[in-house]
Amino acid sequence: MKQYIIKGGTPLRGEVTIGGAKNAALGIIVAAIMANEPVVIENLPDVDDVHVLLDAIEGIGAIVERIDTHTVKINGALISNTSVDEDAIRKIRGSYYLVGALLGKYKRALVALPGGCQIGSRPIDQHIKGFEQLGAEVTIHHGKIDASAERLVGEHIYLDCPSVGATINIMMAACMAEGRTIIENPAKEPHIVDVANFLNSMGANIRGAGTDAIRIRGVESLHGSEYSIIPDQIEAGTYMLAVAATGGDVYIQNVIPKHLEAITAKLVEIGARVEEFDDCVHVSADHRLSYANVKTMPYPGFPTDMQPQMTTLLALSEGTSIVTETIFETRLKYVGELRRMGANITVEGNAAIITGVDGLTGAAVSAPDLRAGAALVMAGLAAEGFTCVDHIQYIERGYENFEEKIRRLGGNIDKIDAEDERAVRKFKMKVS
Ligand code: UD1
């Protein structure tokens, strides 16, 4: 098993370039199979979740041509199978988009229930409600979602909560339904807009993505397209906070600063410097930062996917902070690992009460999920001494070349085999 070994205490400095948004890529890869012509997708992040999904669509007959690391050509004309049930897709979240895409195009889908990070119960009732309102019959049996319809007809759908997954899934099915669908109370995350823009580039008719109501006029077929995925808001945010936690100074390139506003605002509030350029943010921190209260909210609020990284930063800041998680009920499980590194955090219900400490100390910790894993790496970079983070397969699901990018910023990190004593010794000699 692989793990990261980190020697902390070096401020991150220099320049890092952000890749394509993982969560947009998952929606876009699946939406691409709805066209009967080739679709070229650029700025694809080279991360495990993307590879799993590309393999899954290949498995049902889509032609997937990997043009280079960040570009893929997908042709869904010859899809022969609407049933997807591989072990790998049960581990990722984005696999549920196969239901919306196959149901929209073929009026039938049988897809293994999605997995993803264990951060809460993660129901899919809003997805199912939407499909049913469009006229599908949906059942869950033997761990699979079974959806089928004679025809799909546009409807007025009100989501009980602004679910990212349900919004994208219903949008995909509705864009090939008859007539007009309105999704009220949709999620407004940047990747909702990106998936809608991509579907429109293939001939769909979707208006209002990113606002309080999405209006979709169904079309009979979708055509080929070339599309470039937006930059990853969460990857960018993770580097912004890692820079602040290590007292560094970094230009974070290929970002959309508007998508980072909630993160930027908190950084500025606690005393870090953030300069915004057209497609870059410059983050620096040359003194100890101060406390803040943070509540996770749907976009444009503070993203739940940045909560563990923010908690980690506040664990090192002066004063008492409260971080409240309102989206996923068990998303504070990693706090125990931070405590092993000397953090002073107590959890009460869905809130972390953080009393800032002067510094963290390196320890052996375990990544419980993707974003908490990234937060532990961040903690390791800021801590005194050596930190080992295991279960890094979670981190690799969503961060491209994580250790390489950190190394280029001057961080001391390596990926090694957990059992390889020699690699540990070599790393320690190199960095001491
Ligand atoms: C997506 C992201 C994930 C991010 C999350 C919130 C992907 C692949 N994953 O996950 O990284 O943390 O958005 O920004 O894009 N809910 C229901 N019923 C439903 C659906 C959701 O009650 O049918 C609830 C969930 O329990 C949760 C909230 O709605 O409390 C938000 O979930 P949702 O936006 O759907 O998250 P995901 O799409 O799973």
Confirm if 92 and 141 have CB atoms less than 8 A apart: no
Query: Among 117, 175, 280, 388, which one carries the catalytic annotation?
Result: 117
Residue 110 CA to its chain's centroid (Å): 25
Q: Residue 386 has which token pair?
A: 């050596």
15: β partners: 251
Amino acid 7 reads: K
Quick one: three-class SS letters along 46-73?
CCHHHHHHHHHHHHCCCEEEEEECCEEE
Task: Look at residue 419 in the predicted model and tell me its pLDDT.
Answer: 84
Q: Residue 230 has which token pair?
A: 């937006």
Amino acid 134 reads: L
Task: Look at residue 158 in the predicted model and tell me its pLDDT.
Answer: 98
Q: Cis (ω within 30 of 0) for the bond into 45? A: no
Q: Is residue 175 flagged as an active site residue? A: no
Quick one: three-class SS letters along 236-254?
HHHHHHHHHHHCCEEEEEC
Amino acid 331 reads: R
Task: Look at residue 329 in the predicted model and tell me its pLDDT.
Answer: 86
Nearest atom (ligand 1) to Cα of 298: 14
Mutate to test the pocket of ligand 1, among 161, 297, 350, 370 (most ligand atoms within 8 A of CB): 161
Spans of the chain, pLDDT less than 50: none
Task: Look at residue 192 in the predicted model and tell me its pLDDT.
Answer: 98
Integer Cα distance of 315 and 268 in angstroms: 17
Longest distance between any two alpha carbons in the chain, whole Å: 67
Task: Look at residue 36 in the predicted model and tell me its pLDDT.
Answer: 95
Integer Cα distance of 357 and 343 in angstroms: 6
Task: Look at residue 136 in the predicted model and tell me its pLDDT.
Answer: 98
Nearest atom (ligand 1) to Cα of 23: 15
Q: Is 96 in the pocket of ligand 1 (CB under 6 A)?
A: no
Task: Look at residue 337 in the predicted model and tell me its pLDDT.
Answer: 97
pLDDT above 90 as % of the chain: 88
